[in-house]
Amino acid sequence: MRIGLNLGMLADEPWRPVLDRFLRLREEAGLEAVELHLEGALYRAAFGISDEAGARAVVEEVRPRVAALGVHLPFYGINPLSPDPRAGREVLERSIGWAGRVGADYVAFHARGGRVGDPDAWIPLVSSLAARAREAGVAFGLENADDLSRMDAVSRVLEAGRGMVRCCLDLGHLFERAYPAFLPSKALLRINDLVSPFPFLARRGLPLGIHRSWEEALRSVAANVACLHLHNHDGRRAHRPLSRGKINLRGLKAFREDLKEVPFILEADYRGEAAGEVRSDVDFLRGVLS
């Protein structure tokens, strides 16, 4: 299995020291994959698409040392559904080009633009971006997050992609509540989930993890997965370490053969955790898959 890390979640530092930390972890823990982040508004370790030093470091120091290299596209503060290309589409296309230049195997895309749960609104854009990714020599992965968090919506866009769109399946996000679109109701549910001793007490929009297994979601896309994002969910927050949440990940072993070429990207938020937490999660995952 190709186990790796998302560098944006590894440490709250600029990309250079975080990259050095990953290279040490790669040696110590035998990591075979990495996912770089381009979302600079949220992650200090993100790479800039205009930073030639960063691109050169990836080409010379990272690409030769990993079996799988992914790039997470930016998503914060842009609206790619806007008719104005400066609102997001242009940024995404340039980011895909950057991924191609550094030799990435895939890009991961969050659909975020205010059309929550509407796959038909996203199909033309995703198809266009997937075509751009093919030109750049990278696979295009659609993540189940933000506006397309429900698996039925994700599957609809995958089917419309005619083989050019793959899935970056995020097991932690499968557990998150699908909040309603209207802000007052959403805000009340969100407050309850965060502060109540009984998160998800209100049954509306329950997370998939309560009424349907994540294995079912993975089985539905296993033949078309670009990467697997792994983190746990404690009922309030996502991006928890693998052993500290409500999702039982031991069923991953059943998919070992189907996903033997797929990178397993650890995406717990290690920025506030001790360094040993990463190694603990790697050991935990190896134990689950063995």
- pTM of the predicted protein model: 0.93
State how far the Cα of 29 lies from the Cα of 6, in Å rounded to an integer: 15
Contact 183, 173 (CB under 8 A): no
Per-residue pLDDT of 88-128, as tens digits, reads 999 999 999 999 999 999 999 999 987 888 999 999 999 99
What region does 137 belong to: left with phi over 0, alpha with psi -120 to 50, or beta? left
The reported pLDDT for the residue numbered 113 is: 86
Contact 37, 47 (CB under 8 A): yes
Range of the domain at 55: 2-289
Which tops the pLDDT comparison, 289 or 206?
A: 289
The reported pLDDT for the residue numbered 209 is: 63
Per-residue pLDDT of 12-30, as tens digits, reads 999 999 999 999 999 999 9
Domain total for the chain?
1
Question: Which run of H or of E encompasses 139?
Answer: strand 139-143
Q: Which residue has the tokens 């600079």?
A: 40
CA 256 to chain centre: 20
- Which domain CATH number covers 267? 3.20.20.150
Per-residue pLDDT of 50-70, as tens digits, reads 999 999 999 999 999 999 999
% of the chain at pLDDT higher than 90 = 73
Contact 199, 192 (CB under 8 A): yes
Which among 205, 157, 214 has a CA at the least distance from the CA of 185? 205
